Amino acid sequence: MLFFLTAVRMVVLSGEYYPLHGDEAQYWLWSKDLDWGYYSKPPLLSWIIALTTAILGDREFGVRFASPFLHFATALVIYRIGEKLFEPRIGFYSALTYGLLPAVAFSSLIMSTDVPLLLCWAVALYAYLQVLEPKPQPRWWLVLGGAVGLGMLAKYAMLFFLGGMALHMILWRRDLWTNRRLWAAAAFALVVFSPNIWWNAQHQFATISHTAANANLGGSLIHPAKLAEFIGGQFGVFGPLLFPVLAVAIAALLFRPILTRRLPDERLGLLAAFALPPLAVMLTVAFLSRANANWAATAYVSASVLVVALTLDRARWRWIIPASLALHGLLMGVGYAYHDLAKLAGIELTRRTDPALKAVMGSPALGKAVRQALQQMPGAVLMTDERMLFALLSFYVRPPALQVQWNPDGLIQNHFELTTRIEDFRRDTILYVTRHETPDALARFETAEPVGRITIPLAKDYAKVFFLFRVQGLKS
């Protein structure tokens, strides 16, 4: 079944119907300048994209090619986790549950840092189960440390794994705290991750500062609406039937024992322990500021096994997994064929009924129009005032143009502000592409004149509009 899911996703991807999202274009651009780190993310994803695009070319399919396979590999590891803790049947349904999660169905069609992160998390969890054996093979300590270190090179959310380990060890395996091999594995993880630490040290710890700023804890610290939005998002990420089961399971397995002083089955408790840290931290962040629904994605590796193990053999609850699989399969099918189904039904999609319009559509047409404008201005430098726009034009303007990010206040808030300086092009002719009809930036140049307007109609009620200006002579 997992092979079939992966094949379906590859067929959908090969159609290249959806242009890249700005984040994906940014990761692709990073892959053209391989390094040990970037402003907002560690480097692993850019390395993967560099490999796939070297084989398949700089196209949407090449950028996203690895995503379904990485999720497939994660599902296989989840199978082994369920098999080791319980039995092959639990492993099978756990892997299938993960493969059909709404978030995984969506994530398999894009390239994001969560994709390699989840695989590293699953491998680390399986290795951790191996080192819990009475006489573990030494290699599993290396696998554990390597997977954690590599996960940190994918996304800093891998730190939540250490929280899960600590919680499990406090409740069930305090003997591990004095195990020298545990600390050797931690040292190995640090060695694997150390190149990114070095890169950050060379760039004023830009990635760490960005990650902290992303939490946005500088304003009001009470946001119940954002908390409710995040919780609602988890029903969409993990599924409307599975998330309530998970919430009850965590409460019963980890919080009730505090009152009763009786520990539950260690296997179930371990799975809950690794699901709790990302959920608990992100629930807190959501209440204090905001949190995207996918920020707790790592919880659902162990959670996929947990909900299956809890419900599959209980007469009153065994319907939940089959019903959830059927529901998620239906949602995946409708989602993948959404535009075709609407066309068959004679429904004209609008901005409200087609979220892809605002998110990703129109970028190829924009890139083509900007390239035509650049042909009228030989040697011009391309300037934008948005990170997403910079990245998308980098991908869709072919052949690529020399680009710079407009950054009037000098504050470094994205990778392109870190790596480009408008001062380096003080006397050059610049084609300025912006969504603003009268941008403030025009006043900062000695000459500035409008040279065009790009309108990209996407639906009867929606079009993307961009304005083009020729500017030159940056004022001091």
- Span 86-135, pLDDT tens digits: 999 999 999 999 999 999 999 999 999 999 999 999 999 999 999 999 98
Tell me the CA distances in angstroms from 229 to 46, 183, 249, 324, 419, one per residue in order: 31, 39, 21, 22, 35
In this prediction, residue 60 carries a pLDDT of: 96
Mean pLDDT across the chain: 91
In this prediction, residue 252 carries a pLDDT of: 85
Calpha distance 270→267 (Å, rounded)? 5
In this prediction, residue 342 carries a pLDDT of: 81
Closest CA to 267 of 78, 81, 77, 98: 81
Asked if pLDDT for residue 353 goes beyond 90, the answer is: no
Contact residues for 103 (Cβ-Cβ < 8 A; gap 6+): 236, 237, 238, 293, 294, 297, 300
Three-state DSSP class for 177? helix
In this prediction, residue 454 carries a pLDDT of: 95
Tell which wins on pLDDT, 52 or 357: 52
Q: In this structure, what token pair is assigned to residue 382?
A: 């391309």
Q: What is the DSSP string of 93-125?
A: HHHHHHHH-HHHHHHTTS--THHHHHHHHHHHH
- Asked whether the whole model's pTM tops 0.85, one would answer yes
